[in-house]
């Protein structure tokens, strides 16, 4: 293998070392929310067993029914959905964590794809995994609370990784990808990777970030807009909002703790910040069907 290709392969491998997929939901039964807008902070797979559904997200919409079985794959973010009254589904939610390489979703935000035999096998094995079978209907997966043995944990992770792999392969064929943005300017790339790997609890200064690359804050903002269509502040704000949504899905974490993690001294400040960006308060978001 030529040196350049070897270096690219090594970098691609290193880029994903911090990726830790976590299965947060594996549910079979009626949908938690039949109709309306529903938040989704993680990657989801939905398969209809009975009934029909219409979903919209961003500029994309799909319709599906159980007579023509397909997987509905959805990227993180709020979607509108309407299930028929007789609907039953398989619902898989997988959190990808922070791979620390700045990977983001691109392409359509919701798709309907026909799974192949490998995909159907992966889904069946996950749903019938002993750890999943012992959960009560609708119970959220809390791996620490389940106190799994090492073999059981590894078995669950094996099936989680396989269903994620099959989902991503199908998604890519439809143009939905989870990948690191292609950035040409080395200064933008370096600052982007720095922010992607920065702990969400840490603050950053625009001037200091730019100075690391020998630029002013305004110069770095212009380069970011040209390459990524956003500024470092906008990117960091989206990171913080994603973190807030992810933590709000966990009812055991007090909202004031989430606010403190993000550097807000007062709960009202956090509530105003979240409401401005998400269109509803943190408490309202937490109470929505399917959020936790």
The C-alpha atoms of residue 39 and residue 245 are separated, in whole angstroms, by 9
> Tokens for 272?
């105003």
Computed from CA positions of residues 153, 158, 160, 161, in that sequence, does the dihedral angle turn out positive or negative? positive
DSSP code for 77: S
Residues of each domain in the chain carrying CATH 1.10.10.60: 186-287
The C-alpha atoms of residue 99 and residue 180 are separated, in whole angstroms, by 10
The C-alpha atoms of residue 82 and residue 96 are separated, in whole angstroms, by 26
Q: Tens place of pLDDT for every residue, the chain, 292 residues?
A: 444 444 444 444 447 877 888 888 888 889 888 898 887 778 999 999 999 999 999 889 999 999 888 999 999 888 899 999 999 999 999 988 777 778 889 999 999 999 999 999 999 999 999 888 877 655 556 555 567 788 988 999 999 999 999 999 999 999 999 988 889 999 999 999 999 989 988 988 999 999 999 999 999 999 999 999 999 999 999 889 888 988 888 888 999 999 999 999 999 999 999 999 888 899 988 887 555 4
- Beta-carbon contacts of 115 under 8 Å, excluding residues fewer than 6 positions away, are 70, 71, 123, 166, 170
Residues of each domain in the chain carrying CATH 2.60.120: 10-179
Extended strands (E) in 96-223: 104-106, 110-113, 177-179
- The second-level CATH assignment, the architecture, of 10-179 is Sandwich (2.60)
- The alpha helices in 174-231, defined as continuous H runs, are 186-197, 206-211, 217-228
The C-alpha atoms of residue 75 and residue 94 are separated, in whole angstroms, by 10
In CATH, what number does 186-287 get?
Answer: 1.10.10.60
Check residue 231 and give its pLDDT: 96
- Beta-carbon contacts of 102 under 8 Å, excluding residues fewer than 6 positions away, are 180, 181, 192, 193, 195, 196
């Amino acid at each position: 293998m030529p040196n350049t290709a070897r270096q690219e392969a090594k970098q691609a491998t290193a880029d994903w070392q911090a990726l830790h997929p976590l299965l947060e939901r594996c549910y079979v039964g009626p949908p938690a929310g039949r109709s309306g807008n529903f938040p989704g902070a993680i990657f989801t797979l939905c398969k209809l067993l009975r009934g029909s559904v219409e979903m919209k997200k961003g500029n994309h919409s799909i319709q599906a029914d159980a007579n023509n079985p397909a997987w509905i794959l959805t990227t993180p973010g709020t979607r509108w959905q309407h299930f028929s009254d007789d609907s039953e589904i398989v619902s898989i939610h997988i959190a990808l964590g922070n791979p620390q390489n700045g990977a983001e979703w691109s392409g359509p935000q919701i798709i309907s794809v026909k799974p192949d035999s490998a995909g159907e096998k992966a889904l069946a094995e996950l749903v019938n995994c002993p750890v999943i079978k012992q959960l009560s209907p609708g119970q959220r997966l809390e791996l620490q609370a389940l106190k799994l043995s090492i073999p059981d944990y590894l078995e669950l992770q094996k099936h989680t990784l396989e269903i994620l792999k099959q989902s991503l392969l199908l998604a890519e064929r439809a143009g939905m990808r989870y990948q690191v943005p292609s950035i040409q300017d080395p200064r933008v790339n370096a600052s982007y990777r720095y922010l992607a790997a920065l702990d969400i609890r840490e603050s950053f200064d625009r001037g200091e970030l730019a100075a690391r690359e020998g630029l002013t804050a305004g110069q770095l903002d212009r380069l970011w807009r040209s390459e990524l269509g956003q500024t470092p502040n906008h990117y960091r704000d989206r990171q913080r909002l994603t973190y807030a949504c992810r933590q709000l899905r966990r009812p055991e974490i007090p909202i004031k703790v989430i606010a403190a993690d993000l550097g807000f001294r007062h709960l009202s400040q956090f509530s105003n910040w979240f409401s401005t960006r998400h269109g509803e308060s943190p408490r309202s978001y937490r109470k929505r069907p399917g959020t936790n």
